[in-house]
Amino acid sequence: MRVLVLDTVMDRGGAETMMMNYLRHFDRSQVTYDFLVNRPYRAAYEDEIEQLGGRVYRMCPMYPQYFGRYKREFRAFLEAHPEYQVIHSNLEERSYFGLKVAKRMGVPVRIAHAHNRPVGFTLKSVFREYFRLRLPKYCNYMFACGQEAGDWLFGEKNRGRVVQQRNAIDTARYRYDPAVAAAVRAEFGVTNPNTLVLGHVGRFFPQKNHLFLVDIFKAVHDQRPDSVLWLVGGGELDDALKNQVRAKVHELGLDDAVRFLGVRSDVERIMQGMDAFVLPSLFEGLPVTMIEAQAAGLPCTISDRVPRQCDVTGTTQIVALDAAPAEWARRILGQADRHAADKADGTRAAGPERVKAAGFDIVENAAWLQRFYRQALSEQRAAEGRAS
């Protein structure tokens, strides 16, 4: 079974990383993924997708001026590829376009997957509301990373229909190892074992709130000069926001304390060198990076806009987004002090077991999802047979 995944671009974002985790752990002789994206450039995961036997197709962007063209191109694509009987769309409310075409063309299994929970109002919000309210009519399976994301995309009235597909990871890869931690810290110029390393993993998109994160770190650094901040992630092609963050770091005199580590394929290794994880996002679904950070045994501080559901190990504290940077700093430093002994007494190394016990290990979840695809297709074919 070749499942067609609809996505924007297969870069190292949360939803994309999650799908890759599943693809790596499928029995690919039984179920595998192909991807249909709408960005013209070759993205970070495409080499690996092809190495694993997957295919990557491209179509036009999904901007308003291209909506009509996208529907025409998608119809032509399905006509040329009747082998795709299961479509799994990660396009949030824009899943409406592809799944509407797919339903009209008789594709039996049409999954819409909620990965985020937007907040605030912009002109874009008008479009999002229009299409999300029409989406349930065209998907016959609803997935979500967490309840809040599902409520936003599908509405609370459909809560009973929503299946949680966990943002599962290979937990064992994140186990804390003091030797790895020391090597990573030395690689990035941290030679003092008492230096506090704060970490953040996320694309440079407004949602992640990097500019406020720098304000938070400035308050931390003022109280504890022997501290550094590692920022892992890339941005859009023009790096506009990333450059704004760099400018702010320079303006605050933090050039020597903030490291931009870029897009990494070894996040599990980088997290070994961190002492704490900070996520002051404006909104989230259920971020993969939080599951990774907890598997790495890191104490985490998140904003109250990040779902509480992502605290799967009890090592996460929540701070109001509108709290002052000094309050964030006080909470982060207090938490770091409480967890200072975790590395020595073995508590931190127990992260993988805690995350696995919470149900987020990829091996079990990949087996579940393979069964789901096959059962869903069998159900829909049986329903079609009864209808005929």
What's the CA gap between 48 and 269, in Å, rounded? 19
What value does the mean pLDDT of the chain take? 95
Q: Cα torsion at 203, 218, 301, 350 (round to 10°)?
A: 90
Based on the fold, state whether residues 350 and 376 are members of the same structural domain: no
Q: Per the domain annotation, does 387 fall within a domain? A: no
What's the CA gap between 55 and 34, in Å, rounded? 5
Based on the fold, state whether residues 183 and 92 are members of the same structural domain: no
| pLDDT, tens digit (0-9, with 9 covering 90-100), for 212-224 | 999 999 999 999 9
| pLDDT, tens digit (0-9, with 9 covering 90-100), for 291-335 | 999 999 999 999 999 999 999 999 999 999 999 999 999 999 999
Whole-prediction pTM value?
A: 0.90
State both tokens at 329.
């700093």
Contact 290, 263 (CB under 8 A): no
HSE toward the beta carbon, residue 166, CA cutoff 13 A: 23
Domain that holds residue 288: 171-357
Contact 288, 167 (CB under 8 A): yes
Contact 273, 188 (CB under 8 A): yes
State both tokens at 273.
């060198």
Sign of the alpha-carbon dihedral angle for 11, 14, 19, 23? positive
* Dihedrals phi, psi of 278, to nearest 5 degrees: -125, 130
pLDDT per position in the chain (388 positions), as tens? 999 999 999 998 889 999 999 999 999 999 999 999 999 999 999 999 999 999 999 999 988 898 999 999 999 999 999 999 999 999 999 999 999 999 999 999 999 999 988 877 676 778 889 999 999 999 999 999 999 999 999 999 999 999 999 999 999 999 999 999 999 999 999 999 999 999 999 999 999 999 999 999 999 999 999 999 999 998 777 789 999 999 999 999 999 999 999 999 999 999 999 999 999 999 998 999 999 999 999 999 999 999 999 999 999 999 999 999 999 999 999 999 999 999 989 999 999 999 999 999 999 999 999 999 999 999 999 988 887 6
What's the CA gap between 216 and 312, in Å, rounded? 24
The total number of structural domains that make up the chain: 2
Q: Per the domain annotation, does 81 fall within a domain? A: yes
Q: Per the domain annotation, does 388 fall within a domain? A: no
Give the chain's length.
Answer: 388
* Dihedrals phi, psi of 86, to nearest 5 degrees: -130, 125
CATH number reported for the structural domain that contains residue 208 in this entry? 3.40.50.2000
